[in-house]
Amino acid sequence: MGRLRFHALAIAVYCLIFGLSACGGGSSSNVVANPTPAIITLAPTLKTSLELGKTMVFTTTPEDANGNVITTPVQFVSSNSAVVTVASSGLACAGTWNSLSNPQICTPGQTGVAQITAVAQGVSSPSTTVYVHQHVDKVVISAAPSQNPLVANCISKGHTFIFQANGFSQGTDITSTLGPFRWSAANASVLGLSTTTPGLATNQAQATASTIGLTTISASAGSANSIATPVTVCPVQSISLTVNGSTETNLTEPTGTTISATAITLDTAGTNITGVPLTWSSSNASSVTASGLTNTGSIATVLPGGATVIASCTPPTCNPGFQPSLPVYPTNVIRVVAGQTSATPSHTVLVTSDGCANLAGCVSTIVPINTSGGPSSPPNTAGAAINLGATPNSLVIPVGTTVGSAFLGTDFSQQNTKGLMVLTTSGGVTQFPSAPGKVLAVSPNGNLVIVSDTADTTNQVYLFNATTNTSTPFSIIGATAAAFSPDSMKAFVVAGSNLYIISTQDALQIVPLGAAASGVAFLPEGGFAYVATGATVTPWQTCSGASVPAQTITTSGASQFIQPLNVVQEVPNPPGFNQIQNLVAVDSPGIDLIAAQVNAPCTLDILSNPGAAALTGFFNLGRGSFVPKQLLVSSDGSKVYIVTSNLSVILTFDLITHASSAIALSGGATPLAAALTPDGGLLYVGASDDQVHAIDTNAGVDIQQVTFQRNLCLDSVGNPLPTVCLPDIIAVRP
């Protein structure tokens, strides 16, 4: 028995020494109790800092050669245990622990630097440098000594700037003992911060300006944080436009042409920056479209007609975060005229009437007219009448978008409902009682509508958002005219002797004018809006936070209507970047042509005699005194048409030859309202004979009449009423 016991014991010892497999036992694999790692990662890595007597935790990640995390005992080694000691658990003390296995008390040591390394089975991690310092009670950010002073106190987009932080303890600068600072930017999309860029000191960070805007940066060390320091990425200050690399921006192109345009954008530091989110706009998108998201734009001539094209820096996508907002408009425009084609484009003329307003049981309708066909013999057939929920008093269709809704204002209804009516391209009508009144203006992009309610006791102006179908009321009494900036950001509304500026970004501004205003229009480039008050026309800045007037123009009489002209004249030195832009003001017995030159952003010169080729001065139309009712300008800037309330003809003025004439309607009918096709080839006139007359504007001849058979006003079952509702509201939908 003794021998057997000894033999069994010997086998057991042998198996323990050489493993179970040596004894032929089971299928278990070899198990290594403390494997050797291929690498050890120590965190935090590289550099960190620690206040005297404070603690922090180091962690390790041992990995084998395949990158798998393994478990193995790790020891921590400090190169200067008088500065930092690390317990077996990885808990570090800026001083000395009472016990490495069961650390409870951290006794502060001395300031200095220690290298901490993790070791396992003879394999060491990269070391982490720990800076031990006194208590920090203040951190201050400044520019690094190597940096030149910031131009315009901002960093240009795409550029870098190095900031540094200094830490203080009771007034003493202890930066050299602090090691790396912790940096952050409130808006990392505006400004990126890096502390790992080669060449940076431990207290420095390199800022990279990513996008235009405002942010703050902060730095911290220990438990102290700096004051949030404002940093600005330079906003856009000026924009100038070129086409196909040329400074020529006055173009006549065949229909179907695509044109490449570039916006040269300078910021407030004078740096040429790219990748700026710009808004490209066309004054007549049915003929000339403009698209683009940055400095590069594409212009296409899709149908005959003319337009002015601009690229603007429109908040909040461009120059975001500044208060008040900082829109920037180009110092020049691109004027494009698309040539005629063999076939006349098809449009829809929308005709309605305000005749139901005084008729009991009357239902207003709107009737479309299809204009497809040749200019000398268009079919011009009236379509089916579409019932409206209220009697319209106005009809406006946006011009800056290719396809959009028609907006009809109303302040009367037999059904006791009133409010803005929206007619879609498919013929559906939706009414919004939250915006009653007359439509004064629709933004070029078709998203915003200014409605003035002068019939109600509330006497307000409503800004209707066609995207959300919501209305914002403004306490504006007696508004009579309005106009939107080309980028649709601002609307100028005149009411009595006040100018009201409604913005999508800023609070309502009220500007006293000193006299009753009668009209408002924007210069084609967008930086100025012209306001007519009596016998003066004053351009007001739209490109600054507080709108201020530029020079005042004296006209020959009281102006009733003003509109921009799609006519520009290049000015040399340098060509293409300085232009004369024009407007027309109606003041009986003629018109005033106003010329202005934008020499720099928000800088305008009124030109009284800019040259023989420019349009300027007063022109008598030769028909005596008249009361203007409507002003229309052809999209190519060649002709002006005026509908009056006291003459039986339409007054015309040729802007090229300066010749005036008049167009009479067949049968001696009196014009009530008119609308031009986008190419200016046809003028549709609603008249006193209950017909719409199609005028060939090139020949000045009434070529066709469309009869409505008294269906602009119907009774409750759809039959014509005995009283005729005349076609006195008309518009052309592209």
Question: Rounded CA gap, 124 and 76, in Å?
Answer: 10
Element (DSSP H or E) covering residue 116: strand 112-120
Specify whether the CB–CB gap between 143 and 158 falls below 8 A.
no
| Residues 125, 77 contacting (CB under 8 angstroms) | no
- Topology match between the domains 39-133 and 138-233: yes
Do 328 and 517 form a contact (C-beta atoms < 8 A)? no
How many C-alpha atoms does 605 have within 13 Å on its Cβ side?
Answer: 13
Topology at the third CATH level for domain 39-133: Immunoglobulin-like (2.60.40)
Please, which residues have CB within 8 angstroms of residue 625's CB and are 6 or more apart in sequence? 588, 589
pLDDT at 454: 78
d(CA 570, CA 563): 20
Q: Starting from the edge strand earliest in sequence, which strands make up the sheet with 479-484, in order?
A: 479-484, 490-495, 498-503, 509-512
- Reported residue count of the chain is 734
Written as one string, the DSSP assignment of 516-554 is: -EEEEEE-TTSSEEEEEETTEEEEEESSSSS--B---EE
> Which contacts of 658-663 are long-range, i.e. CB under 8 A and separated by 24 or more positions?
658/619, 660/590, 660/619, 660/620, 660/621, 660/622, 661/700, 662/623, 663/695, 663/700, 663/701, 663/702
Contact criterion met (CB below 8 Å) for 621 and 589: yes
How far are the Cα atoms of 315, 419, 465, 492 from residue 504, in angstroms, in the given order?
9, 22, 11, 12
Architecture of domain 138-233: Sandwich (2.60)
pLDDT value, residue 59: 96
CATH class of 237-338: mainly beta
Q: Residue 606 burial by CB count (10 A; 0-12/13-18/19+): exposed, middle or buried?
A: middle
Give the per-residue pLDDT at 585: 92
Which two three-digit tokens encode residue 177? Answer: 């003992």
For residue 339, give the 3-state DSSP assignment: coil
DSSP 8-state assignment for residue 437:
B
**3-class secondary-structure state, position 89:** coil
- Say if residues 297 and 291 touch (Cβ distance below 8 Å): yes
Tell me what pLDDT residue 164 has. Answer: 97
Task: Tell how strand 250-253 and strand 334-338 pair up.
Answer: parallel
Whole-angstrom Cα distance, residue 635 to residue 637? 5
The pLDDT, as a whole number, for residue 18 is: 36
pLDDT of residue 223: 87
Rounded to 5 degrees, what are φ and ψ at 177?
-100, 0
Query: Which pLDDT belongs to residue 254?
Result: 93
d(Cα 592, Cα 583) in Å, to the nearest integer? 8
Report the b/e string of 142-156 with b at 16+ CB within 10 A: eebeeeeebeeebbb
Q: Exposed, middle or buried: residue 709 (CB in 10 Å: 0-12, 13-18, 19+)? A: exposed
Is 21 within 8 Å of 15 (Cβ atoms)?
A: no
Report the DSSP pairing between strands 296-301 and 258-267.
antiparallel
Residue 327, SS3 per DSSP: coil
Q: For residue 665, how many other CB atoms are within 10 A of its CB?
A: 20
Alpha carbon distance 558, 95 (integer Å) = 87
pLDDT digits (tens, 9 = 90+) for 468-482: 999 999 999 999 999
pLDDT below 50 — which residues of the chain? 1-30, 374, 377, 575-576, 612-613
Within a 13 Å sphere around the CA of 357, how many CA atoms are in the beta-carbon half?
A: 15
Asked if 129 contacts 49 with a C-beta cutoff of 8 angstroms, the reply is: no
Q: What is the pLDDT of residue 1?
A: 37
* Domain ranges, ordered by start, for the chain: 39-133, 138-233, 237-338
Report pLDDT for 284: 92
Q: pTM of this prediction?
A: 0.84
Write out the E strands in 384-495. 386-387, 391-396, 406-412, 420-423, 429-432, 438-442, 448-452, 461-465, 470-474, 479-484, 490-495
The pLDDT tens digits for 653-680 are 998 889 999 999 999 999 999 999 988 9
**What is the distance between the alpha carbons of residues 40 and 118, in angstroms, rounded to a whole number?**
7
Task: List the Cα angle 139/143/148 in 5-degree steps.
Answer: 170
Residue type, 711: N
